[in-house]
Amino acid sequence: MPRTQAPATGSAADTIALLRALIREACVNDGSVGSGQEIRSVRVLQRFLADAVATGRVETHVLESAPGRASLVARLRGTGTGTGTGTDPDAPSLGLLGHLDVVPVDPDGWTRNPFGGDLIDGEIWGRGAVDMLYLTAAFACVLRDAALAPEPPRGDLVLIAVADEEGGGEYGIHWLVRQHPEVVRVTEALSESGGMRMGRHVAIEVAEKGSAGRRLVIHGKPGHASIPYGAKSASYRVGEVLQRLGEVMPAAQLGPLWNAFVSARIQDPALAERLRDPVRLDAALPHLGGIAGYAHAVSRITMSPTVLRAGMTHNVIPAMGTIDLDIRTLPGTTDAEVDHLLRVVLGPLADDIEIEHLRGWAATTSPSDTPLFAAIERAVAAVADAPVVPIMAAGGSDARVLRELGIPAYGFGLLGPDWSYERYREGVHGNDERIDVESVTLSLAALQRIVADRLA
């Protein structure tokens, strides 16, 4: 249950009202080009930012990659180099990267309207409340308040509210950096996937695993299904491969962020020692409770069979089957290394299997010794009296696109003390998604400090 708290006022109340309005637009992205229709939420943001735009300090662009697939970029011009005045050659251009789309819902799994934006007992309910409309709303509020302040910032502050993050970003951030690179130009950025608690630490994402999708093509010998003798069904061979994938897993590879995670989250010294040993780590995973899945994922390359295909009609023994693998890679892993590892995992089955490459991207990392990361540390300490811990995300976000361009980007947030990593993961894409007013208020307060730290 949420703790008793006073109603939000001022900018926090505005952020919550904006969050509720964005939830109600129901920009559901099912992966098809016609879904999402983020133009609805773009219009909400335009109305919210109207006073800021009226100052003449904010330049906005509404950019559509396809009908209705709109992104909004609002740039508050600073007095530094970004404006061409040359008054501050070190002035940063701080990007606030949020997305407007949300994943589909199963209404039968919800106890409230998933697109009602209800505020009940200090919690805002709705699809996207956690992922990541609360941050997108906070980003917009901070930009508006900075534009209405008596003095402009020394560097640019840029809200980048994009379409299609949940569908991979082809109609959002990828399209923007290809087609409108100057509009989205920043030197550093904040985005999603941070703020959950790891013990007394606040997690800030500095890295994301990569993706190296593969399709295994498996051949058999066809025949009439009524006379199976002498045929060799590809379906059985698919089963053999799945069994092998389930029995053999890639070994742990403990990167530079692993020790910080263990130190922040694991209080038992003996268990922490086992987790720092790649040989003993797997046997220790069952003792981690709800964090075990995350620990397993970020300590190795993972391979998950997701799509199986074999056969086209019921009376023909299939001659071919395929298995699609979602493979998530660690920083520095090459495609050649993925293929080699996959063949090692498949063992004696590998010689008869073709490996096809599906869509993928490299893991990305931002350093944790940048001025922006230091500003995050100071803000979290001031607002929550807590240290931060840099972490790697098992999944992906739009921040990786900026990292691929050499721009430091961090998954930000400051959720309440009860928001463990496990609670955060349950909220993302889950039923009854909701976020409490306290977490929105904390995140906004920390964000305000970061913007002042970097741009005042």
Count of C-beta atoms within a 10 Å radius of residue 112: 13
Report if residue 374 sits inside a domain: no
Same domain, 333 and 437: no
CATH number of the domain encompassing residue 149 = 3.40.630.10
pTM listed for this prediction: 0.93
Report if residue 367 sits inside a domain: no
CATH number of the domain encompassing residue 339 = 3.30.70.360
Same domain, 279 and 147: no
Report if residue 156 sits inside a domain: yes
Report if residue 368 sits inside a domain: no
Report if residue 65 sits inside a domain: yes
Cα angle 155, 160, 162 (rounded to 5 degrees) comes to 170
C-alpha 22/C-alpha 100 separation (Å) is 8
C-alpha 304/C-alpha 322 separation (Å) is 14
**Residue 203 neighbours by CB under 8 Å, 6+ apart:** 194, 195, 196, 197, 264, 388, 389, 390, 391, 421
pLDDT tens string, the chain, 456 residues long: the values are 444 455 555 699 999 999 999 999 999 999 999 999 999 999 999 999 999 999 999 999 999 999 999 999 999 999 985 544 456 778 999 999 999 999 999 999 999 999 999 999 999 999 999 999 999 999 999 999 999 999 999 999 999 999 999 999 999 999 999 999 999 999 999 999 999 999 999 999 999 999 999 999 999 999 999 999 988 999 999 999 999 999 998 999 999 999 999 999 999 999 999 999 999 999 999 999 999 999 999 999 999 999 999 999 999 999 999 999 999 999 999 999 999 999 999 999 999 999 999 999 999 999 999 999 999 999 999 999 999 999 999 998 999 999 999 999 999 999 999 999 999 999 899 999 999 999 999 999 999 999 999 998
Same domain, 34 and 155: yes
Same domain, 27 and 173: yes
Same domain, 348 and 418: no
Which bin fits 333, alpha (ψ -120 to 50), beta or left (φ > 0)? beta
Same domain, 120 and 247: no
Which of 321, 346, 361 corresponds to the end of one domain? 361
Same domain, 194 and 238: no
Same domain, 155 and 216: no
> Among all chains, which residue has been given the structure tokens 């990659």?
65
Cβ–Cβ under 8 Å, residues 42 and 140: no
Same domain, 148 and 80: yes
Same domain, 163 and 45: yes
C-alpha 132/C-alpha 124 separation (Å) is 13
In the chain, the amino acid numbered 359 is R
What's the sign of the alpha-carbon dihedral 142, 146, 147, 153?
negative
Domain that holds residue 166: 10-198+389-455
> Among all chains, which residue has been given the structure tokens 């109207």?
50
Cβ–Cβ under 8 Å, residues 39 and 70: yes
Which of 322, 341, 361 corresponds to the end of one domain? 361
Report if residue 285 sits inside a domain: yes
C-alpha 12/C-alpha 196 separation (Å) is 19
Same domain, 186 and 314: no
Report if residue 416 sits inside a domain: yes
Cβ–Cβ under 8 Å, residues 195 and 389: no
Which helix (H) or strand (E) covers residue 447, if one does? helix 437-455
Report if residue 130 sits inside a domain: yes
C-alpha 30/C-alpha 34 separation (Å) is 9
Domain count for the chain, please give it. Answer: 2
Same domain, 156 and 103: yes
Residue 5: predicted pLDDT: 55
